[in-house]
Structure 1
Amino acid sequence: MRSKGPPLLPIFRSRHQADLLTLLFLQPDREFTLTELAERVGVPLTTLQREAGRLEEAGILAGRRVGRARLIRAAVPGRYARSLTELLTLAFGPHVLVQEEIAGMPGVDGVAIFGSWASRYRGESGPLPSDIDVLVIGNLSRSEVYEAAERVEARLGIPVNPILMAFERWNEAADPLVEQIRASPVVWVKDLPEEAE
């Protein structure tokens, strides 16, 4: 996990470390195997084992063995848990919260975050994001999408701007908004089916 600190909140060693902590602290009741965490964070298992060991030694994570498997979770309650959860939610949590609130809604084909937050998450330097732009592709109620976005907004404390787009419009090559989104950094929260791309 030796990479430069993430532009969203460079107090972490790497974006992978921040992703690991976000995954665990935004789901404090859930335990993950080391293999599952390595896959979700996108790092080799040995790298994740070292990082989890350091964080467990510091009292930030808790672990236990079940047979041959090692299970890891956030150390909640813990000395840093509340503050760390708040920091992680604000800086790295938008895609986790959007997944919880929007991605599983009936009629959703794909969900992506774009704009300044996605740019910072992907490593581009720049000012702190002042809002979260969310593309929702599918056929569903605009009011339901806005209600879900308001729930995410309430948890993040910054505006969440959903754009609802029909599947057919996303496939139109000549649409200026589609061109703009496709040309910019995007964080897919729910991938489109392959035949849609």
Structure 2
Amino acid sequence: MRNEAPALMPIFRSQRQARLLARLFHGPDSEPSLTELATQLGVSTGALHADVERLVDAGLIHDRRVGRTRLLRANTDSHAAKALAQLLLVTFGPEHVVREEFATIHATVAVYIYGSWARRYHGELGPEPGDIDVMVVGAPDRDEVYEAADRAGERLGIPVNAVVRSASSWSQADDALVVTAKADAVLIIGEETAT
């Protein structure tokens, strides 16, 4: 199967490659294994292997072996590292930043990104997103939600707009915003079956 360039930033070879780079450059001090990355990205290690080889050969990431485990990390000494990290932050970073900022909010069943960013993530072509739309499902403290959105927006450099819907609203089809969000939602926190 042919990998298409990601609509979020079509300069990358594939969505998988961009997500791999985003994961490594988002946490440049971390050193996950190839197997861990494949699991986090929802792809096979075989599929990820070719991308890893290209990126190691290009000097954008480092690898090392500990026994049979292959560990990977961003090459922050690369001349392209700072610019690449910034580009990855504004394109694929919302997935990571929203997860981090919303992770500690109590009474949350799930967190989704929807709207233009989610449509680009799913491959729909169009202009770059001007904001990030987040739907928090559950009964969280709304002040915590809005504070998390503000922090995420500050880190990403674009507005993050958060809305809250109850689990029952999410599971029913009578809320127009929920219906719209479900059409392109990217699950960030929680499980699909939980909602």
Q: TM-score normalized by structure 1? A: 0.93
- Matched positions, count: 195
| CA deviation after TM superposition for structure 1 residue 2, in Å | 4.3
Please say if residues 106 and 141 of structure 2, whose CA atoms lie closer than 8 Å, have aligned partners that are also in contact.
no
Secondary structure, counterpart of 1:86 in structure 2: helix
Please say if residues 107 and 138 of structure 1, whose CA atoms lie closer than 8 Å, have aligned partners that are also in contact.
yes
**Letter aligned with residue 88 of structure 1:** L
Q: Structure 1 stretches (4+) deviating beyond 3 angstroms?
A: none
Report what 1:109 is aligned to. Answer: 109
Please say if residues 103 and 110 of structure 1, whose CA atoms lie closer than 8 Å, have aligned partners that are also in contact.
no
Please say if residues 110 and 192 of structure 1, whose CA atoms lie closer than 8 Å, have aligned partners that are also in contact.
yes
Q: Any residues of structure 2 matched to 1:1-197 within 5 Å, and which? A: 2-182=2-182, 184-192=183-191, 194=193, 196-197=194-195
Secondary structure, counterpart of 1:5 in structure 2: coil
Percent identity over paired residues:
47
Secondary structure, counterpart of 2:9 in structure 1: coil
Please say if residues 63 and 73 of structure 2, whose CA atoms lie closer than 8 Å, have aligned partners that are also in contact.
yes
Please say if residues 63 and 72 of structure 2, whose CA atoms lie closer than 8 Å, have aligned partners that are also in contact.
yes
| CA deviation after TM superposition for structure 1 residue 60, in Å | 0.4
Distance 1:51 1:168 in 2: 41
| CA deviation after TM superposition for structure 1 residue 87, in Å | 0.2
Distance 1:36 1:192 in 2: 19
**Letter aligned with residue 50 of structure 1:** A
Secondary structure, counterpart of 2:145 in structure 1: helix
- What CA deviation, in whole Å up to 9, does each residue of 1:135-174 have, x standing for no partner? 0011221111111111110111111100011222222332
Please say if residues 61 and 75 of structure 1, whose CA atoms lie closer than 8 Å, have aligned partners that are also in contact.
yes
- When the two chains are superposed, the root-mean-square deviation of aligned CA atoms in Å is 1.6
Stretch of structure 1 that moved more, 1-10 or 151-160? 1-10
